[in-house]
Structure 1
Amino acid sequence: MSDHASISALRKQLAETLRSSHAHADFAQSVKDFPAPLRGKRPEGSPHSPWELLEHMRIAQWDILEFSRKGEHESPKWPEGYWPKSPEPPDEKAWDRSVHQYQQDTDAFCKLIEDESNDLFAKIPHGDGQTLLREALLAADHNAYHLGQLVLARRLLGAWKG
């Protein structure tokens, strides 16, 4: 396999990893028809509600995406800027907005990765040694970790049918 074909295959695999669910439930399945009354509930023993997990995933993925493509991006303050202020969504439309934005950012990240003009291995100019490859892997790892927590919270709240 040529270097170009190998890099193309890597790009495809990275995007697929961000979009899909080979080893676990997928994002769409995990948030679909999530009962509104349970979105802000913290299961017994859990530090986070489903809303907190969803919004944290959205914020973190957005931050990684923006860092990967914009030198002027300023990350939220850690840790408070990465978590919502309340376990409950602020209004009845917040859940759907967060889901939609997460999916939009996933698509944007995949397009960034798949764009052959972006070198996966080059250091991000405004970073501290990070590469687009590293940021894509970071996003996929972070998303999978918290998606597992979200599914567990949903299961503990009695709202998982998967």
Structure 2
Amino acid sequence: MENDQQQKLISELVFLIEKGNAHVSMEDAVAGLPANMRTVIPENLPYSIWQLIEHIRIAQKDILDFCVSEDHEKLAWPDDYWTEPVEHIDDQTWENALNEIKQERQRFFDLLQDEKTDLFSPIEWGDGQTILCEAMLIADHNAYHTAEIVVIRRMLGCWR
């Protein structure tokens, strides 16, 4: 693949992960969320917005750690990917989680943009995954759960 084509692909991946094409960004999905709604679990749903944010954070970090190190800590599905419900999340904990998502996302973008990164070859310690595949996994996974955040906000009556 020519360098300008690869750069175009990387730009599209970054945009898809960060902003999305057909959906709101994660930042937009949580903007203006009242603090008292972070941990509410709507009837007939298994998790709160807080649990979704933590799940996005944990899964995204796990994907990145897998991409960069054979020695990454393997997490057990589903227990290590989901937090237990809590009654309250303070502003500092909330902001720390959102900031970590942004920082890990930027680390992944740095990996994508590193000229030594091969987007198409299988990751040596994986079982066929490529960096391109993992980028699409992050985009798909985060978009899915971002949509759930919007739906929960609608159910709680705190969406636009």
Structure 2 residue aligned with 1:114: 113
Distance across 1 between alignment mates of 2:11 and 2:88:
34
Paired residue total: 160
Structure 2 residue aligned with 1:144: 143
Distance 1:88 1:63, change over 3 A: farther
Deviation at 1:75, TM superposition (A): 2.3
Distance across 1 between alignment mates of 2:156 and 2:10:
37
Cα RMSD for the two superposed structures = 1.4
Q: What is the DSSP-based 3-state SS (H/G/I as helix, E as strand, rest coil) of the residue aligned with 2:124?
A: coil
Q: Partner amino acid for 1:15?
A: V
Once the two structures are superposed, residues 121-156 of structure 1 have per-residue CA deviations (whole angstroms, 9 ceiling, x without a partner) of 111111111110111011110000000001111111
Compare 88-97 and 144-153 and name the one that shifted more. 88-97
Aligned ranges for residues 39-54 of structure 1 at < 5 Å?
39-54=38-53
Structure 1 residue aligned with 2:92: 93
Gaps of 5+ in 2: none
Calculate the TM-score normalised by the size of structure 2. Answer: 0.93
Calculate the TM-score normalised by the size of structure 1. Answer: 0.92
Aligned ranges for residues 2-151 of structure 1 at < 5 Å?
3-89=2-88, 91-151=90-150
Q: Partner amino acid for 2:6?
A: I
Q: Partner amino acid for 1:52?
A: Q
Gaps of 5+ in 1: none
Once the two structures are superposed, residues 107-128 of structure 1 have per-residue CA deviations (whole angstroms, 9 ceiling, x without a partner) of 1111111212100011111111
Once the two structures are superposed, residues 37-82 of structure 1 have per-residue CA deviations (whole angstroms, 9 ceiling, x without a partner) of 1111011221111111111011001100111111110222110100
**1:51/1:89 contact within 8 Å kept:** no
Distance across 2 between alignment mates of 1:150 and 1:21:
15
**Off by >3 Å, runs of 4+ in structure 1:** 87-92
Distance across 2 between alignment mates of 1:63 and 1:8:
25
Q: Partner amino acid for 2:97?
A: S
